[in-house]
């Protein structure tokens, strides 16, 4: 009897300590706060971080080349069952020893190289669930769930990596899309499922701008034990409209106590013309709360009406307990591509602070039926500016040397946020990649501060009349969407100079800290340099676009990757960049942190991002504080530490100036000739 009491007490203590030790959900916890109570690493000792271990998945040896480099290593590992578990872009699930990085098991679902997935080969993570009703030692009492590039939901034993035989057929369920696909990769799953109350919920990622009659964005709930379909939910209320999607491609979150799953839905199809789908197109571009056991709608709040800008919700809804003048409230924090943060009551979806419907630009393309207003939060300020003017053009060199930005942007319609797509061309700022993207935000519940990465770039969007589109060959580097069934196709391109620089002024990537209670920006900090893009490693601190997210700790640090090959640590109170950890490839993924045998580790997947044009790789890298007698290495540095690269940078800067002057002279002589 005494033994049972002691065992039960130890088990309870273990459960209480588990969240503090590790990272059991994609977003740190089920609500996606990306906050860790660990405090061993602090601003005072972060300069002592060293590389603890470095693991290669092996994808660089064969598979990345086999799919022509169409990969994105965006996974966030979980610490479960005393293993660090993550998925590769090809949906292999790998378990590592958390202290050494040595592989303990590996599962390969045999995803083919011929999928041509619309959103590249990518897997952001797996979900973990323990069946409390099952005996302690039975196989698959604890499970890992993963959606795949080829539309399967797979259940694995979390301890061994073996498929759960009682789930579906041999551990997998094939998703029934209920519509013939244009090609195998038009429909895929990229973000981790969520699981609660015996139900595993999975969304989907569907190719954009292909057709009006696109696959539905159905969200599905499966029995976590058997794999049987329990419910399905189509976010769109069709009412005779001819459109699909409004899918949930971004990560979801769960309130276990309330039995709610929160969906960030996307735009209806096609993205840039809505003439065939009049009205607000509910429940697209919305935070949707469903009863997880039944799929019944609890509430929905739309952030963009009748979306024709691809301003879908890209980020996990963050569940927080917020201190307000009226007392503590359970809320949903939803960041957007436009840079807004909507703060909604978790039970009702009603905004905690007023959201104003404001008039927005009108006069869309022929046949378009725009919403006259859009919702604007009134308390929390936008995370970035939402208007671009000619004064904001970035001129790294004189206009006589490079006038491509002026030439590209001249004549575009530019009436500010929500300027509709047109045949003359529309300047879209923020671009369709954010603002905030799939990395989402982090929330410090102690200090009540929200942290988010944002990107600044311009999209040039142009509607192409159908007759012209059917015979055109899109220019290189331009995203071309046929939008079959609509009177217009669409081209979309990031505005960049002849030198390969973004046309808008830096910083191109920033971390932003927001005091939600006061409704004010506390600080901004540029994230990333040109070191891994510029000749000879010239490191201009202009920031890099940031689709990935971050992690915040009780040690008052914020960790993030970027599109250069560094993991960085920032002071959570001031925004000062304190430390950089060199990576073998850019860490365009969300970092995580955990305690292992008394040491705090910080881990990130470092495999690059093919859509962004970075170098690619297959690494998972861990850092920890140096042990007694262990010297810092080249892989870890404080940013103010002197080094040869700065002297080399000065020489390179002089060389660049000489080269640009020579180029300017050549262009001047060419014009004279």
Active site residues per annotation:
310
Nearest partner of 23 among 552, 578, 613, judged by Cα: 552
- How far CA 114 is from CA of 68, 150, 183, 553, in Å, comes to 11, 10, 10, 41
Q: List the structure tokens of 312.
A: 């879908």
Nearest partner of 334 among 241, 445, 450, 202, judged by Cα: 450
* Residue 53 CB-half CA count within 13 A: 12
How far apart CA 448 and CA 450 sit, in angstroms, is: 7
Q: CA 503: distance to chain centroid?
A: 23
Phi-psi region of 418 (alpha: psi -120 to 50; beta: other; left: phi over 0): left
Find out whether the peptide bond into 142 is cis, omega within 30 degrees of 0: no
DSSP E strands: which ranges in 11-138? 35-36, 49-56, 71-72, 78-80, 83-87, 93-96, 103-107, 121-122, 127-130
Please count the other Cβ atoms lying within 10 Å of the Cβ belonging to residue 659.
11
How far apart CA 24 and CA 126 sit, in angstroms, is: 10
- How far CA 308 is from CA of 194, 208, 550, in Å, comes to 29, 12, 29
- How far CA 100 is from CA of 55, 251, 359, 597, 632, in Å, comes to 9, 29, 57, 12, 18
DSSP secondary structure, 490-501, as one string: EEEEE-B-TTS-
Please count the other Cβ atoms lying within 10 Å of the Cβ belonging to residue 102.
10
How far apart CA 546 and CA 532 sit, in angstroms, is: 15
Q: CA 398: distance to chain centroid?
A: 35
> Under DSSP, is residue 617 helix (H, G, I), strand (E, B) or coil?
coil
Burial class for 346, CB neighbours closer than 10 Å (0-12, 13-18, 19+): buried
In sequence order, which ranges of 60-176 are alpha helices (DSSP H)?
63-66
Judging by DSSP bridges, how do beta strands 318-324 and 78-80 pair with one another?
A: unpaired
Residue 612's φ and ψ, nearest 5 degrees, are: -90, -5
How far apart CA 262 and CA 346 sit, in angstroms, is: 9
Burial class for 275, CB neighbours closer than 10 Å (0-12, 13-18, 19+): middle
Count of positions (residues) in the chain:
673
> Under DSSP, is residue 74 helix (H, G, I), strand (E, B) or coil?
coil
How far apart CA 625 and CA 640 sit, in angstroms, is: 19
List CB contacts of 53: < 8 A, sequence separation 6 or more. Answer: 100, 101, 621, 622
How far apart CA 402 and CA 86 sit, in angstroms, is: 44
How far apart CA 401 and CA 542 sit, in angstroms, is: 21
């Amino acid at each position: 009897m005494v033994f049972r009491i002691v065992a039960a007490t130890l088990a309870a203590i273990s459960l209480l300590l588990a969240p503090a030790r590790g990272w059991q959900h994609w977003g740190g916890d089920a609500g996606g706060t990306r906050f860790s109570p660990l405090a061993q690493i602090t601003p005072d000792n972060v300069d002592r971080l060293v590389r603890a271990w470095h693991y290669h998945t092996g994808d660089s040896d064969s598979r990345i080349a086999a799919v022509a480099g169409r990969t994105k290593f965006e996974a966030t590992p979980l610490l479960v069952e005393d293993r660090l578990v993550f998925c590769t872009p090809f949906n292999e699930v790998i378990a590592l020893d958390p202290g050494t990085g040595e592989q303990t098991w590996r599962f390969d679902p045999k995803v083919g190289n011929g999928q041509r997935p619309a959103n590249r080969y990518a897997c952001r993570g797996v979900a973990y669930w323990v069946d409390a009703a099952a005996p302690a030692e039975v196989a698959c009492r604890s499970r890992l769930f993963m959606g795949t590039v080829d539309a399967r939901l797979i259940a694995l034993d979390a301890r061994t990596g073996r498929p759960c035989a009682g789930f579906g057929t041999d551990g997998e369920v094939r998703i029934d899309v209920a519509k013939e696909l244009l090609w195998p990769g038009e429909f895929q799953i990229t973000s981790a499922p969520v699981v609660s109350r015996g139900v595993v919920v999975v969304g989907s990622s569907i190719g954009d701008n292909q057709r009006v009659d696109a696959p539905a964005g159905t969200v599905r709930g499966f029995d976590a034990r058997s794999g049987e379909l329990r419910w399905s939910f189509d976010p769109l209320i069709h009412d005779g409209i001819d459109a699909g999607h409004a899918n949930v491609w971004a990560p979801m979150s769960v309130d276990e106590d309330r039995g709610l799953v929160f969906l960030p839905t996307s735009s209806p199809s096609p993205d840039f013309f809505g003439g065939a789908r009049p009205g607000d197109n509910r429940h697209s571009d919305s935070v949707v709360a469903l009863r997880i056991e039944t799929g019944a709608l609890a509430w929905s709040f739309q952030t963009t009406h009748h979306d024709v800008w691809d301003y879908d919700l890209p980020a996990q809804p963050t569940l927080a307990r917020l201190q307000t003048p009226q007392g503590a409230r359970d809320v949903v924090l939803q960041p957007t591509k436009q840079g807004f943060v909507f703060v909604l009551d978790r039970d009702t979806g009603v905004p905690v602070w007023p959201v104003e419907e404001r008039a927005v630009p009108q006069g869309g393309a022929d046949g378009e039926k725009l919403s006259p207003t859009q919702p604007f939060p009134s308390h929390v300020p936008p995370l970035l500016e939402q208007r671009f003017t000619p004064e904001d053009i970035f001129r790294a060199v004189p206009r006589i040397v490079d006038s491509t930005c002026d030439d590209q942007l001249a004549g575009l319609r530019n009436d500010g946020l929500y300027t509709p797509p047109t045949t003359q061309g529309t300047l879209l700022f923020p671009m369709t990649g954010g603002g905030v993207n799939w990395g989402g935000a982090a929330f410090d519940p102690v200090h009540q501060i929200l942290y988010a990465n944002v990107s600044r770039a311009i999209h040039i969007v142009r509607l192409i009349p159908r007759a012209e589109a059917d015979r055109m060959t899109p220019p290189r580097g331009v995203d071309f969407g046929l939008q079959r069934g609509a009177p217009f196709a669409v081209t979309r391109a990031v505005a960049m100079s002849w030198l390969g620089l973004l046309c808008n002024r830096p910083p191109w990537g920033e971390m932003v800290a927001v005091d939600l209670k006061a409704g004010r920006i506390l600080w901004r900090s540029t994230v990333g340099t040109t070191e891994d893009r510029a000749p000879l490693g010239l490191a201009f601190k202009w920031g890099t676009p940031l689709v990935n997210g971050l992690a915040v700790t009780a040690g008052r640090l914020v960790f993030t990757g970027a599109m250069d090959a560094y993991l960085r640590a920032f002071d959570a109170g001031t925004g000062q960049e304190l430390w950089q950890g060199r990576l073998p490839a850019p860490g365009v993924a969300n970092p995580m942190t955990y305690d292992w045998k008394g040491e705090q580790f910080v881990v990130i997947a470092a495999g690059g991002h093919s859509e962004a044009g970075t170098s690619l790789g297959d690494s998972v890298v861990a850092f920890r504080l140096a042990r007694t007698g262990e010297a810092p290495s080249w892989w870890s540095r404080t940013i103010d530490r002197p080094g040869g690269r700065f002297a080399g940078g000065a020489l390179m800067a002089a060389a660049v100036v000489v080269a640009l002057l020579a180029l300017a002279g050549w262009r001047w002589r060419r014009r004279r000739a």
